[in-house]
Copies of this chain bind each other. A is one copy, B any other.
Amino acid sequence: MKIALLGGTGDMGEGLALRWSKSHEVIIGSREASKGAKAAADYLAKAKAFYGDSMAGSISGTSNPEAAAEAEIVVLTIPHEFAASTIMSIKDRLNPKQVLVSPVVPMIKIEKGMVYSPIIKDGRAISYAESLAQELQGIPVVAAYHAISAKKLANPATILNYDVPIAGDDPGAVELVTKLTKEIPNLRPVYVGPLRASLMIESLTPMIINAAIFSKIKDASIAFVQ
């Protein structure tokens, strides 16, 4: 499967590239194609060193629009402040057969810690993922990977005992993201409802950051406990 990681030169991009390149064709997108290619070469060397002969996938790099046009799955591994310009640059390259995955979280720094800052539209709070689906009519959007420690993800030897809440309206797109999530040892995908439920998932990120700041629970994620 061809997976584009837009803005994939960051921690989150590195982690997903290292994890998924075991079996998939990963394409690192960047604002400059040369930066995407450079990061891809770096990740590829790490992936080869880790997987050796069992590596069946690949990692290449290019510009964000090129990466988006080629892939079956497009993941927005970018901070919220760069999301609008990135979407603008790839918008014309997307088609309804692709799946767009958003781990993007709009949040703001307050005097002490971080707080979630959802988009206010028609007097109601909506998630970034929802606003994206409204903007890109027809492209299936799935919200996932908001609460994974990028640092831990970037070490393919680290086992991640987390739950990954997933939200989306398109059953096929959700199934695909569920499958890709299960391929990362020991991530457990948990479907928590239609795309509107991404409002709750995006909230997790600032809460986890604050747990690190105020309660010294560093590089954490969450799990459902029964």
A residues bordering B, Cβ < 8 Å? 110-118, 120, 123-125, 161-162, 165, 190-194, 196-197, 199-201, 203-204, 206-208, 210-211, 213-215, 217-226
Contact = CB atoms under 8 A, between A and B. Distances in A.
A220 B116 CA distance: 23
20 contacts: A110-B196, A115-B193, A115-B196, A118-B125, A125-B125, A161-B225, A162-B225, A190-B215, A192-B210, A193-B213, A193-B214, A200-B207, A200-B210, A201-B207, A217-B224, A219-B226, A220-B224, A220-B225, A220-B226, A221-B224
**For the complex, would chain A's binding face be called helix, strand, loop or mixed by DSSP majority?**
mixed
A37 B63 CA distance: 69
Nearest to A221: B225
A203 B199 contact: yes
A162 B222 CA distance: 11
A186 to B, nearest CB: 11
A177 to B, nearest CB: 14
A106 to B, nearest CB: 11
A109 B102 CA distance: 24
Contact of A222 (B112, B113, B224): B224
A222 to B, nearest CB: 5
Given A113-B197, A217-B224, A222-B225, 4 more contacts: A116-B200, A192-B210, A200-B207, A208-B224
A161 B220 CA distance: 17
A16 B15 CA distance: 42
Contacts of A206: 197, 200
A166 to B, nearest CB: 9
User: Of A113, A221, A224, which is in contact with the most chain B CB atoms at under 10 Å from its CB?
Assistant: A224
A199 B205 CA distance: 12
A190 B203 contact: no
B190 A211 contact: yes
Which are the 3 A-B pairs with shortest beta-carbon distances? Answer: A200-B207, A203-B203, A113-B193
A169 B194 CA distance: 34
A207 B112 CA distance: 25
Contacts of A223: 222-223, 225
Given A115-B197, A120-B125, A192-B210, A222 B220 contact: no
